[in-house]
Amino acid sequence: MTINFKHGFTLIELLVVIAIIGILASVVLASLNTARSKGSDAAIKSNINNARAQAELYYDSYPNAYTNVCTAATGIQKMYTAAETAAGGAAFAACSSSKIAWAMKARLVSNTGQYYCVDSTGAAKVITAT
């Protein structure tokens, strides 16, 4: 008497395993996308907050004016450019300055209707675009 054992998996078993792997992969990818967006938001906020500190140093170093804060000649421009890149490009960030005031904003990646803003009064907050 010989016993013939089949070795391997059935087609149904393989399909079930592939389906489970697909479901797990989609959950992981969705989580990674959220984490990536929050990471970009953190980079935007960090760069803009650093620019705020630099703007105050600029104000103290030059004749008490914010006039050229947003120009390429200052280190602030590099931070602004980094925030602009993290936000998705030039269309999603802005920097404006005058002799007595300045302001900078960049769109957040996780919520495209919100911007992170800082200004010469020391304000740093998320605002909703209207």
93-110 pLDDT, tens digit per residue, is 888 988 899 999 999 998
CB atoms within 10 A of CB 53: 12
Q: What are phi and psi of 40, to 5 degrees?
A: -65, -40
Token readout for 12 is 């149904």
Residue 8 is given by DSSP the state: S
pLDDT, tens only, 13-65: 999 999 999 999 999 988 888 888 999 999 999 999 998 888 888 888 888 78
CB atoms within 10 A of CB 78: 14
Would you kindly state where each structural domain of the chain is located, as residue ranges? Answer: 12-128
